[in-house]
Amino acid sequence: MLDAIATSGGQYRGIAIVDGSFTEKDYAALHEGGIRGVRFNFVSHLGGMPDMNVFNHVLQRIQPLGWHLVVHLDAADIVELTGLLRALSLPFVIDHMGRVNAGAGLEQGPFRALLELMKVGNCWVKVCGAERVSAAGSPFVDAIPFAQALVNAAPDRVLWGTDWPHPNVGRHMPNDGDLVDLVPLIVPDEALRRKLLVHNPASLYGWG
């Protein structure tokens, strides 16, 4: 990843997975290399709850660098972790629309909790992972109302991506073209779509 960033001519940024062994020098080198955040997995199939001592130690290390936190969690975790997330002072990004199940509808508890979190000024959400959210399968259009609700809740704090090459994808291996085709359906307005795809990531990742 660092090599890809180095050869991009400043066009790429990265998110790292780190542990408690990383030193201040290590973080400085990562920052110089284009890293702008760390990711922690809370999902059960990737080990569940991380070591919270390591979690808190890492957050203390990255905050002076202006980095953000990416949180990958299961829908069932959103309510349980709301207090922890609300207490964070640095920007945090919830991955894959919180991995909610579209089949459970917009009024399901985890999604309502996610929308409430979006009222917190440092909470961001990636409106990606339609293939993970969808209950119907390709072309994943049942995920669209969830993405639209998140974009409408905080248009300045949403991001998008395809999640290529789709690790641990589960039931539906997506065609990336299908995922791209969802974007104008999620955000028909061109100015708002430009926020999602250009201005918001530029702000969060520190471009220009």
Q: Which residues 6+ apart lie within 8 Å of 108 measured at CB?
A: 75, 100, 101
The whole-number pLDDT of residue 208 equals: 60
Query: pLDDT (tens digit, 9 = 90+) per residue, 168-207?
Result: 777 778 999 999 999 999 999 999 999 999 999 999 999 8
- Quick one: 81 and 59 in the same domain? no
The whole-number pLDDT of residue 102 equals: 98
By percentage, how much of the chain surpasses pLDDT 90? 90
What distance in Å separates the CA atoms of residue 52 and residue 73, rounded to the nearest whole number? 15
Q: Starting at the edge strand that comes first in sequence, how are the strands of the sheet with 68-72 ordered?
A: 14-16, 35-41, 68-72, 92-94, 123-126, 158-159
Name residue 67's amino acid: W
- Quick one: 66 and 85 in the same domain? no
Distance of CA 146 to the CA centre of its chain: 15
CATH of residue 151:
3.20.20.140
CA atoms within 13 A on the CB side of 150: 31
- Annotated catalytic residue 51: no
Provide the residue range defining the domain that includes 45.
1-72
Domain boundary, last residue among 56, 72, 88? 72
- Quick one: 81 and 114 in the same domain? yes
- Quick one: 16 and 91 in the same domain? no
Domain boundary, last residue among 72, 103, 128? 72
Q: Would you say 134 and 143 are in contact if contact means Cβ atoms under 8 Å apart?
A: yes
Q: Which residues 6+ apart lie within 8 Å of 176 measured at CB?
A: 162, 164
- Quick one: 79 and 172 in the same domain? yes
- DSSP characters over 16-56: E---TT--HHHHHHHHHTTEEEEEEE--GGGTSS--HHHHH
- Quick one: 59 and 155 in the same domain? no
Indicate the number of domains in the chain. 2
- Quick one: 147 and 204 in the same domain? yes
Query: pLDDT (tens digit, 9 = 90+) per residue, 13-65?
Result: 999 999 999 999 999 999 999 999 999 999 988 788 999 999 999 999 999 99
Catalytic residue of the set 74, 77, 95, 163: 163
- Quick one: 60 and 93 in the same domain? no
- Quick one: 44 and 138 in the same domain? no
- Quick one: 59 and 92 in the same domain? no
- Quick one: 91 and 62 in the same domain? no
- Quick one: 138 and 55 in the same domain? no
Domain boundary, last residue among 57, 72, 87? 72
**68-72 and 35-41 as β-strands: parallel, antiparallel, unpaired?**
parallel
The whole-number pLDDT of residue 207 equals: 86
What distance in Å separates the CA atoms of residue 208 and residue 205, rounded to the nearest whole number? 10
Query: pLDDT (tens digit, 9 = 90+) per residue, 68-121?
Result: 999 999 999 999 999 999 999 999 999 999 999 999 999 999 999 999 999 999
pTM above 0.75, yes or no: yes
Burial class (CB in 10 A: 0-12, 13-18, 19+), 2: middle
